[in-house]
Amino acid sequence: MDKARSQQFMQKVVGDAGTAMAAALVHVGTRTGLFRAMAGAGPLAAGELADRTGIGQRNVAEWLAAMASAGYLVYEPDGERFTLPDEHALFFTDPASEYYLGGLFDGLPALMAMAPRLAASFERGGGVSFAEFGAGMPLALEQMNRPVYENRLVQSWLPQLPAVVERLNAGGRAIDVGCGTGVVPLILARAYPQAHIEGLDVDARSIGIARGYAQEAGLQDRVGFIQAGADALRGDPGYDLITTFDVIHDLPDPGAVLACIRAALAPGGTYLMVEPAVDDRLENNLANPFARMLYAISCLHCVPQSLAQGGPGLGACWGPGQARELAMAAGFGRFERLPVRSPVMAFYALSA
């Protein structure tokens, strides 16, 4: 046994545990406005931050120390002050910004709390159903993804598909499959007032929230939400655009759903499949911090909830090679990776 290697690894493990616990404190920082109060404020002592936020000084002081230790804040021993650099504040202060990462940490407590249930499912089999992740899961997923969808979908992703945009402007039909709380269909409805937009998801809670949002936005007559499994697309052809965002790998039968999607496209219609941006091979993903997060979410959430539906548990970390194979097997004639720059999402345009 190499003693130095062992000691080095022990330090990594302890550091990892510290980072995992610090993640809970990032959640506390975004929820309570501690990060927001520090943004642009320059160096602050614990008492000053406590005054700004109305949070007890002892809690603030310990949070500051933990966040500095985790590398989120910069500490100046002279004057015992802490700074949130602008380059860090970018990710934690404005929930409407496409750079906002606070939503990731909103969903973490619910995901981490599933560890005992997940361990039981490893031992007994059967996976963990989406509903078992709790009432907060649809909103947690929404919070992770909404800012980037709001800032990118219409502005820079769909312009990659000019024929689709033309059809939507001319009153075409679009459906987002696995729409969750309906963020994508509602964005489409606002951007393309002539188009007929639908969202479909198997999860009743998500569809209930989506319908509520449509009502609040006065879009209930322009966006239809369907609570059904993705295979319900069968027999309803004629979509100019079908989208799936982070959905195919969660399904009980990804290949069969791709075939349904192909059959449901109008002639010349496009299917936009958005999946995690990782390589097909584990060894090519090991140095990628995004992949590290995706493998963990995949093991904690994506695979167990697919298994719970009797699915194969494809997992979030499948790459373009596998995606192309599945698309070809489902009968698509065109499979193209769009040149969209994103560290986490890969965009594939498919057509019959």
Binding residues vs ligand SAM (CB under 6 A): 130, 141, 145, 178-180, 201-203, 206, 229-230, 245-247, 250-252, 309
Query: Whole-number minimum distance, CB 188 to ligand SAM, in Å?
Result: 13
Would residue 44 be called left, alpha or beta, if left means φ above 0 and alpha means ψ between -120 and 50 degrees? beta
Q: Considering beta carbons, is residue 29 or 185 the nearer one to ligand SAM?
A: 185
Rounded to a whole number of angstroms, the minimum distance from the CB of residue 140 to ligand SAM is: 10
Give the Cα separation of 321 and 318 in Å (integer).
8
Give the closest residue to 164 by CA, choosing from 153, 177, 148.
Answer: 153
8 Å CB contact between 210 and 197: no
Whichever of 36 and 301 has its CB closer to ligand SAM, that residue is 301
In the complex, least distance from residue 24 CB atom to ligand SAM, rounded to whole angstroms = 22
What does DSSP say about strands 196-201 and 173-177: parallel, antiparallel, or unpaired?
parallel
Q: 34 or 144: whose CB is closer to ligand SAM?
A: 144
Considering the complex, what minimum distance in angstroms separates the CB of residue 116 from ligand SAM? 22
| 244 burial type by CB count under 10 A (0-12 exposed, 13-18 middle, 19+ buried) | buried
Comparison of 198 and 203: residue with beta carbon closer to ligand SAM: 203
Q: Name the residue nearer to ligand SAM (CB basis): 33 or 229.
A: 229
CA–CA separation, 173 and 194 (whole Å): 9
User: Which is closer to ligand SAM, CB of 48 or CB of 231?
Assistant: 231
What minimum distance in Å lies between the beta carbon of 252 and ligand SAM? 5
Q: How far is the CB of 225 from ligand SAM (least distance, A)?
A: 12
Paired tokens of 209: 């929230």
Output 106 or 246, the one with its CB closest to ligand SAM. Answer: 246
What gap in Å lies between CA 16 and CA 59, rounded to an integer? 23
Cα–Cα distance for residue pair 173/164, rounded to 1 Å:
10
Determine how β-strand 345-351 pairs with β-strand 265-276: antiparallel
* Closest separation in Å from C-beta 184 to ligand SAM: 6
Residue 34 backbone phi and psi in degrees, to 5: -65, -45
